[in-house]
Amino acid sequence: MAKITFITTDNEHIVVEGESGSAMELAVQNGVQGIDGDCGGVCSCATCHVHVAEGDVAKVGPASEIEQDMLELDDNVTERSRLCCQIDVSDELDGIVLHVAG
């Protein structure tokens, strides 16, 4: 079981829990403002953009090339940007913090 904290652009902290699926799915199920997941998680809509908290980057890992190409054109991109539909939930992610890019 992994606990993941989403911090919205309004600074609301939402803690979600899950064992499988993607971080986007957990966010949508829990109504995290700013994570829409329009395409259902196939890396096509970029409505699931997050910035991984500084200390968690190594845990979450880098974006794939296709994901980077999508992110490259997003207005709020930083080197800690990920599309959270591409972050698979697993025990190793327990405790990570994701900031909604907005």
Partner 1 sequence: MSKSALPDPFQDARNTKGFGTVNDQDDPVTMVLGLKDVRKCAHNWKTFQSGGEEVGRIVVPSEQAIRDTRQIPFEVDPPQHGDYRALVEPWFKRPLEDEYKARLATIIDELLDEVLAMDSVEVVEEFSLKLQSRALTLLLNIPYQEAEVWIGWGTHVFRSDDTALDAGKANILYDYIDQQIEKASNQPGDDLYSVLLASEINGKKLTKEEVKGVMILTFAGGRDTVINAVTNTIAYFAEHPQSLARIKAEPEITGKAVEELVRYFSPLTHMGRVVTEDTQVCEHAQKAQSRISLCWASANRDERVFENANEVVIDRKINPHVAFGFATHNCLGATHARQILHILLTALADKVTAIEILDHTDNIEDWDEFKRKVGFDALTVKFN
Our finding on whether 1 is near partner 1 (CB under 8 A) is no
Tokens 């309004």 correspond to: 10
Per-residue binding string, ligand FES, 53-72, x by CB under 6 A, is --------------------
Contact pick of 23, 83, 87, 89 for ligand FES (by CB under 6 A): 83
* Neighbouring-strand partners of residue 6: 14, 98
Q: Kindly compute the dihedral angle of the four CA atoms of residues 9, 15, 21, 23, in this order, to the nearest 10 degrees.
A: 20
As a whole number of angstroms, the distance between CA 39 and CA 46 comes to 8
As a whole number of angstroms, the distance between CA 87 and CA 80 comes to 13
Per-residue binding string, ligand FES, 4-33, x by CB under 6 A, is --------------------x---------
Residues lying near ligand FES in the complex (CB under 6 A) are found at 24, 37-39, 41, 43-48, 83, 85
